[in-house]
Structure 1
């Protein structure tokens, strides 16, 4: 196979862009045609939606690189010998009767691009990587690896390194051009299995989870069409940061939300103290709630008598009780159990009516059901989650009965309402209450299930939140992403196995990513020293990057020092974050603005400011080229797991990190030899 030069590749690029325009025009035409060919209203709506979605995606596809790699197969491949494939983010059609011009990165043959090596070339003679400029987008060069000849650059590739180290501006980007073999194995893991990825900062665990979602939708689209894919992130700022990744990969029909928003049944206006929140998030509350709900089911007070014209049907107290007991033993949702009791009593009357030679019409059955409902309600009452929880939290006797032997008197006192509302309809629910309401709701009826769920920052979920996720993935699989060292909630996991059991996937495979591709070595070295004092067992990280800068400076005045550090950062390319505890962040941001430096907040999505003021509590999952951390001691003291929070904050920098302090630093954070102080 003959090689091609840069001019030939640029000519191919022009052909690809012309093909993309033809695809967009064809998609718009298909929308018009599709409206006329569907056989029924539902099919027309479904077809129209699919066609319009495709047309919109193609119209809005950014003018980015249509391909990032190329595979030339040699005689070592029986299936692809002599073939050349361009690999890109999206499939680009070559037209009727022609081979694709670009193959989607998720296609089976594309796995070879990521996994082929000099040791195992998989029939690839040459792997070509393309370099691109960003503004304007232009093909600037390429790099060839002659795998069958033993040449394999791997992460030493200058193009791979340039892409990984490219300054971070705006939201998170996809990593399809730089996926490493160990990451690709996780991305392409089967739909049936669940996996848990323990990943240190900068190892790409979030990117792996998002690309896995895109891969599964591509590979199992029909199976996932009904349940769909759910992405759960730690907060809205994080979701805004990653929101552009899946659309760039051609996937827009993915639900992305937080656990709090997923579970909220209405406005959350209540607040819990630390003690109350800790009890409500404890897994023991699951049994307390189950007891509280099923204590509403009582033994029949007597027989049932139902008039039917001049005749009266009778179901004895013992028979009625046996039906209730059988339904309780079947462990179905509370609402299903109640309906079974009702339907089985109707069935008893139906058999007796037939035995008397009576014809039981549908109208007769409906009448009997209505007549029996009041009797069943007296024994197995219909209820709502809010009603159950309000009674539990508002009535000391109810709580004591349901929590006997489970919660201590002190724990019961912590969650009891000091002033119960007049009714559950006027209750002011907290975020922790929403978790409990979801637990009760799951006992009443099964919630909507998803085909696959990706849970990021999963180490921060409580056992009760994990159960809520498990209810929604009972018949699906999950991808769990997290880092035990970054656990900052009071109930954060200290080990994965117990956490996975709460998530309903105790058999999930646990994989650790330990190579940091985004965080430079100087920052990783500092963060690894923190691992020595954190109470979790996680592997130390090694950095792919030898670049980066770390400066730790003591100052007598934090304001001017912060202004100087930010001005220095503005002299470099990329995004900048000022991270501090809440009490310090506001005044420092005001100082920057007074000095004429534009500063955005995490809510300023449309802001063009390069500097963002980030509360330490909201930094998780975010990345910035240059990070200025102000007063680490305050970050540590602001919360019970402040050391873990500081570990998170220090690892947000992907190029340069400045640590400014007026107060003494802990010994384990003192500047290493050679670091500016």
Structure 2
């Protein structure tokens, strides 16, 4: 067993010295990467090879330069002297590998390396060869100065000893890190990953997984760390296909934007589905009924029929193909059979066009070769480009834009009736028809739901480029048609699906994960529940679990390992006094550490900001992640969190979504944004 360190001051001195050595080594790695770029630019190789090499070297140099400042390690593993492949070894664990020379033992091991898994999984009952697990305590907001290393905690696993908090299974340093107040973007959790989270993070690239995560269980962090792990473990496969992180809106993406760069990964696309499918600006609107029908999975069949209705398999005219002074004739029956066969094969529409052309050319070639021998590639290309062949293909399998198909469908009652027969009833057809059709598709005003339809047709015409892996957050709010859009982009890759059915707030919010996964094209993906909250305290969870029972969703109740936290219900006798009560609640919150989020129904946000400003309290919008006090519309708060939440007039928040479950789910989202304290300010009766 590795001898224990002597007194704490001496141990801290040694660890600070090691951190200084790591800092110097990292600076040398950055300088070396820049030098490799200069050398690589002069390398003697083919143009393609030099371009690939230059790209890789520049990417590596850029990644190292863009690493955020901060501590270079957060843990250490001391392995026992016998019994494992790492016997007697000592490893510092950090966010990236640091070494003084590529062939030298690392000064810091990447948290994703196989040996690092013991840091997250080893226990006193199953030490996995670890004698001592050490965790380091750094000053809040540390930029990586060695003097910021303020404490350490050793767990002597080989002796069956640990320093976990009684009844929680979480060490004191980990608990303090999880509970530490924050202002600004989301942080990574590499230092605090729990065993159940680690199992999900290190899942195989080829396996899709769905995480049903209660509030505060770290499901978003798990998804982002899984992305970083896959990039580390399968760099070529994932980067070749690309990795996409999909969030519900830009505010949420700004909140999580710094997590992956902090883990050393900068080449990840973070986007919203609306941005991925944005063929046109959204300038039109739909009422709720029209949007609901357009987002229904049945629209996929309506669109498929509308597209393939343009194919004419019944043309009986024969075709004469010029070949010099000769004409090759293909009879109408044979041409019709070619078109019908290709249509039955159901290829992408654009592929079908070219398949028809190729088979016509093959018929002509077979006749020509029977008459006078083999034909070469030049002859084949000439026949393919022959005007009669192109004219026939255009007539039976015309080129088409997705916009033409959707515009003709939504503007023409007869076209829609033919495509929707037996799929949509008359009322549903009437709901989606445009009241004032444009003169042509080029002048159409597309709604957000129309863009989903356009993406569906575009995918029928030609399959989009896919990603090697896609992380989908807040997936419970996706419609079936939106799920299909994601499925097309992950047809040959895998998915990490994150969400909470209890937080579904769209008109088409999911009621079950198997249904969502079927629309995403991954019906066999495992659904893994995360129910243990590390961020939301027990007092808040107890309140929100009361509301959970009314949400009509089959999800396990959350539980919290945090015994701290505070909930206050502030009833205001006169509803007109709510803004003043909110100001008082915010002033109280500012007396403590951490961020303050004032969350209200969207319509109430302007008057609350005016009230706070008039009282001399500087309040920002949700886009200002560094603000101490933020006023957030309830519709945008999903996925965000604040140390202190002031939830304003819950009845108004619920009513803003209309009657029924959606309003209560929106309220559930709002109340679960608090990670330390929750004030509920209300002048009307509470809906829970």
Class of the TM-score when normalised by the shorter of the 2 chains: over 0.9
Match 2:482 to one of 448, 465, 486: 465
Deviation per CA, 1:125-160: give whole Å up to 9, x if none.
100000000345410010000111111344441100
**Cα RMSD after superposing both structures:** 1.3
Deviation per CA, 1:552-579: give whole Å up to 9, x if none.
1111201110111111111111111111
Asked whether the equivalents of residues 212 and 527 of structure 2 are also in contact (C-alpha less than 8 Å), the reply is yes
SS at structure 1 position matched to 2:529: strand
Match 1:426 to one of 430, 439, 443: 443
Within-5 A mapping of 1:177-196:
177-196=191-210
Query: 1:655 is matched with which residue?
Result: 676
Q: Following TM superposition, by how much is the alpha carbon of 1:471 offset from its aligned partner in structure 2, in angstroms?
A: 1.0
SS at structure 1 position matched to 2:42: helix
Within-5 A mapping of 1:516-527:
516-527=533-544
CA spacing shift, 1:428–1:301, aligned 2, 3 Å: farther
Query: 2:628 is matched with which residue?
Result: 610
Within-5 A mapping of 1:546-557:
546-555=563-572, 556=574, 557=577
Q: What is the count of residue pairs matched by the alignment?
A: 665
Say whether 1:224 aligns with 2:238.
yes
Say whether 1:40 aligns with 2:46.
yes
Match 1:365 to one of 380, 383, 404: 380
Match 2:614 to one of 587, 594, 619: 594
Query: 1:675 is matched with which residue?
Result: none
Match 1:624 to one of 633, 642, 650: 642
Within-5 A mapping of 1:289-304:
289-298=303-312, 299-304=314-319
Match 1:27 to one of 19, 24, 33: 33
Q: Following TM superposition, by how much is the alpha carbon of 1:94 offset from its aligned partner in structure 2, in angstroms?
A: 3.0
Within-5 A mapping of 1:300-315:
300-315=315-330
Within-5 A mapping of 1:408-487:
408-487=425-504
Question: Distance in 2 between the 1:118 and 1:443 partners?
Answer: 56
Q: Following TM superposition, by how much is the alpha carbon of 1:38 offset from its aligned partner in structure 2, in angstroms?
A: 4.8
Q: Following TM superposition, by how much is the alpha carbon of 1:263 offset from its aligned partner in structure 2, in angstroms?
A: 1.0
CA spacing shift, 1:512–1:153, aligned 2, 3 Å: farther
Asked whether the equivalents of residues 168 and 623 of structure 1 are also in contact (C-alpha less than 8 Å), the reply is no
Query: 1:139 is matched with which residue?
Result: 149
Question: Distance in 1 between the 2:85 and 2:587 partners?
Answer: 57
Asked whether the equivalents of residues 599 and 646 of structure 2 are also in contact (C-alpha less than 8 Å), the reply is yes
Query: 1:673 is matched with which residue?
Result: none
Q: Following TM superposition, by how much is the alpha carbon of 1:600 offset from its aligned partner in structure 2, in angstroms?
A: 1.0
SS at structure 1 position matched to 2:372: coil
Query: 1:672 is matched with which residue?
Result: none
Deviation per CA, 1:614-669: give whole Å up to 9, x if none.
10000100011111111100111011411000000000011111100111112xx3
CA spacing shift, 1:242–1:548, aligned 2, 3 Å: same
Deviation per CA, 1:410-461: give whole Å up to 9, x if none.
0000000111111111111111111111111111111111111111000100
Match 2:511 to one of 470, 491, 494: 494
Asked whether the equivalents of residues 38 and 47 of structure 1 are also in contact (C-alpha less than 8 Å), the reply is no
Q: Following TM superposition, by how much is the alpha carbon of 1:271 offset from its aligned partner in structure 2, in angstroms?
A: 0.7
Question: Distance in 2 between the 1:133 and 1:21 partners?
Answer: 22
Query: 2:394 is matched with which residue?
Result: 377
SS at structure 2 position matched to 1:230: strand
Asked whether the equivalents of residues 538 and 563 of structure 2 are also in contact (C-alpha less than 8 Å), the reply is yes
Deviation per CA, 1:232-266: give whole Å up to 9, x if none.
11111000000000000011111110111111112
Q: Following TM superposition, by how much is the alpha carbon of 1:225 offset from its aligned partner in structure 2, in angstroms?
A: 2.1
Q: Following TM superposition, by how much is the alpha carbon of 1:358 offset from its aligned partner in structure 2, in angstroms?
A: 6.2
Q: Following TM superposition, by how much is the alpha carbon of 1:60 offset from its aligned partner in structure 2, in angstroms?
A: 3.1
Query: 1:535 is matched with which residue?
Result: 552
Using the size of structure 1 for normalisation, the TM-score is 0.96
Question: Distance in 2 between the 1:568 and 1:40 partners?
Answer: 67
Deviation per CA, 1:275-302: give whole Å up to 9, x if none.
0000000000010011001111112241
Question: Distance in 1 between the 2:447 and 2:586 partners?
Answer: 38
